[in-house]
Each structure stands twice: as structure tokens, then as C-alpha cells.
Amino acid sequence: MKGVPLRIEIGPRDLANNQVRAVRRDNGEKTDISRVFLVEQVKGMLEKIQQNLFDVAKQKRDACIEVVKTWDEFVKALGQKKLILAPWCDEEEVEKDVKARTKGEMGAAKSLCTPFEQPELPEGTKCFASGKPATKWTYWGRSY
């Protein structure tokens, strides 16, 4: 039953009452549903479960993001296994240098992706790794 988003239980009392019991995996909530409204209620519950799972995962992800602007902040956040958002000059050689400087037992840091919706990049912002003018914000981390 592990991984099943919604469990439907039907026992002798449920049959006698023309109902079923639905149990949500995400929060354990139990609800008795009339068999007449079963399809509509299950559809609604599955949509709520999906939204709840998404919201919880997004909160966990957001809690792991660290915004850094310097190499020292980057190394500290990397050691804490954070997902790092940093200003970058977008040069391949700089990324290779970051990989070389962070190579270790847990793997090297690398750029993961560039957000479509870029945070404001104030004029004069420097790349966290090279000190050159930054052109965009990029997520960095290790693949574990």
C-alpha cells in the first residue's frame, strides 16, 4: 500500500450503510463517502492530495535554497548540502574551475539550471566564482 495516494476501504458495516471509507496517504485523514457520490468525491480528493504533495515538496525545496554572492558563502552553503542560487558570469571556463575547486568525495559542484524568472541582478554584481561581471542568476549544487 506504500505510495497509494488514496486507499478505499469497504467492510461489512460500510456495505450495510452503502458507503466506503477513503483514507488519504498524505495526511492520514479518513472520510466516509456515500457510494452514490464516490466518483466525484474521489476525483476531488485526488486533486487535493496532488496539490498538497506539491505544496509540501515546494516548501521543502525552498527551505534548502541559499542565496550567495561570494565564493566563501558558496563553499559554506555547499558544505551544508544546500541548493545554491548565485550570480554568475555564464562562462564555461568558470564552471570548469568551480568543478575543479569543489571536487571531493561527494562529487563536484556544477550549475544545475538557470531560473526562467530571474531575480533582480543589480548593476555591478560580480560573479561569485570569478569576480567578473555577473550576467544572470544560476542554481548550483552537487548531484548526490
Ordered by start, the domain boundaries in the chain are 6-60, 65-141
The pLDDT mean for the chain works out to 94
DSSP 116: S
pLDDT of 144 higher than 70 = no
Which CATH superfamily hosts domain 65-141? C-terminal domain of ProRS (3.30.110.30)
Is residue 104 very low, low, confident or very high in pLDDT (cuts 50, 70, 90)? confident
The x, y and z cell numbers of residue 52, run together, are: 498538497
Place of cell 569543489: 102
Instruction: Enter the pTM of the model.
Output: 0.76
Q: What is the mean pLDDT of residues 31-58?
A: 95
Q: Which of 17, 80, 88, 4 has the alpha carbon at shortest distance from 46?
A: 4
Specify whether the CB–CB gap between 130 and 94 falls below 8 A.
yes
Is residue 100 very low, low, confident or very high in pLDDT (cuts 50, 70, 90)? very high
Specify whether the CB–CB gap between 116 and 142 falls below 8 A.
no
pLDDT digits (tens, 9 = 90+) for 14-41: 999 999 999 999 999 999 999 999 999 9
Choosing among 3.40.1440.10, 3.40.50.2300, 3.40.50.800, 3.90.400.10, the CATH entry for 6-60 is 3.40.50.800
Equal CATH topology for 6-60 and 65-141: no
